Each structure stands twice: as structure tokens, then as C-alpha cells.
Chain A
Amino acid sequence: MSQIILFWSVLACEAILALAMACAAYRLARGPRAQDRVLSLDAFYVSGMLLLVTFGIRTGTTLYFEVALIIGALGFVSTLALAKFLMRGEVIE
């Protein structure tokens, strides 16, 4: 019984997160300006990270959590670099 509940709730969670990623991707494509795209890229990264956490629950391995940490770090650094680029037109001043 609990097995069935867990299976379907993890599946539902993944579907909802995928939908959230689709919404972020819509804003990424629509824009209208560069800062909107960078913001939606950040939201995209965070939902992708949470999706990996649910994969970790499904499979029961630690591997996905490490991937989630790396995705989080990459998302942070890339959003910072893009924001810096929007501000001055250069990444390193």
C-alpha cells in the first residue's frame, strides 16, 4: 500500500516539477529582455535540482544528491556571471 502511494506521489512530484520547468522555459524563450531570460534560467536550474532530488528518492542512491549539489553550484555561478555581464558588459572587470 505505502509502496503504491510513494510510487505515485514521486511520479506526481516529478510531473509537476517538469511542468514548472516548462513554464520557466516559456519565459526563457519569450524574454522580452535579457534579464528576464537570466531570471528564468535560474528558476529552471532550481527546478532541475529539485527534480534530481526526487530521482534520488526514487532510486535510493546518493549519486543524484551529489549531482543536485553540482547543478545548484553551476546554476549559481552561471547566473552570477550573466548578471555581471548584463551590468557592465564584461564578466571580469
Chain B
Amino acid sequence: MTGDQFPLWAAIAVSVLLVAGSLLMLAGCIGMVRFRSFYQRIHAPTLGTSFGTIFILAGSVVYFTVTQLRPAVHEVLIFVFVSVTTPVTLMLLARAALYRDRIERVQDVPASKDPLDNAEMQTSKKPS
């Protein structure tokens, strides 16, 4: 943090964006703790990866644009990367969880419509 000529409005904007983003991330992680089932918990991290990330990166963009320490381009890359990868991860994890729950016949998970999967479940054993 260099220079005393950093304008007050920019400081307030950066602070609000940073705190708002981190609070969203915290809300998501509290959700991880509070939710009862896995399928509820899968919604929790998206709070942090959608607008939590956007707010913190926007705060960083404002800070580096005002101080002109460097052009704010890395934030764009991080945003693109996070917004592309998170849905992919969550979908794959959700499908893995569905598969495991169906094999173990857990609780109220909807049955698979794929006959191949059903045949496989007759023969396969419980995963550990």
C-alpha cells in the first residue's frame, strides 16, 4: 500500500467490495456446515464462486486501476477460470454422489433411468 494520495472514495469502494465478497464466501462455507444432506451442500460453494469471487476481484481491479501499480488483467483471467471450472466440478461431483447413493440405495434419491446403470447396480458391491 503505497502513497498517501489514494482517494477516499476509491478506498471506501475497495473496502465495501472486499468485505462483501468475503462475507458471501463465508455465507457459503457456513452453509456447508449448516446444511443436512450432500445435495443441499452442493449449492453452498456457488455463493463464493459466483458473486463472492466477482466482488473481491472487482475490489482488486479498482485498487490497481486507481494506484496504477499495474494493469488489472489477472483478475479477468481468474474470473474466467473460476466461472468456467466451478460448474464442471460440481456437476461431476453430483453425478458421482448420485451413483454412490444409488448403489447403496440411500434415502430418497431418484432412481436411475439408464438400464445399463441398473444392471450394474445389481452386480456391484458397496463402495467404501
Query: A contacts B directly in the complex (CB < 8 Å)?
Result: yes
Interface residues of A (CB under 8 A from B): 1-3, 5-10, 12-14, 16-17, 19-21, 23-24, 26-27, 33-36, 38-40, 42-43, 46-47, 49-50, 53-54, 56-58, 60, 62, 65-66, 68-69, 72-73, 76, 79-80, 83-84, 86-87, 89
Q: Which of A7, A9, A38 has the most CB of B within 10 A?
A: A9
**Contact status B67-A60, CB under 8 Å:** yes
Interface residues of B (CB under 8 A from A): 1-2, 4, 6-8, 10-12, 14-15, 18-19, 21-23, 25-26, 28-30, 32-33, 38, 41-42, 44-45, 48-49, 52-53, 56-57, 59-60, 63-64, 67, 69-70, 74-75, 77-78, 81-82, 85-86, 88-90, 92-93, 95-97, 99-100, 127
Q: Which residues of A contact B25 (CB under 8 A)?
A: 16-17, 20, 46-47, 50
**Contact status B38-A43, CB under 8 Å:** no
Q: Which residues of B contact A60 (CB under 8 A)?
A: 1-2, 64, 67, 69
B contacts with A: majority SS: helix
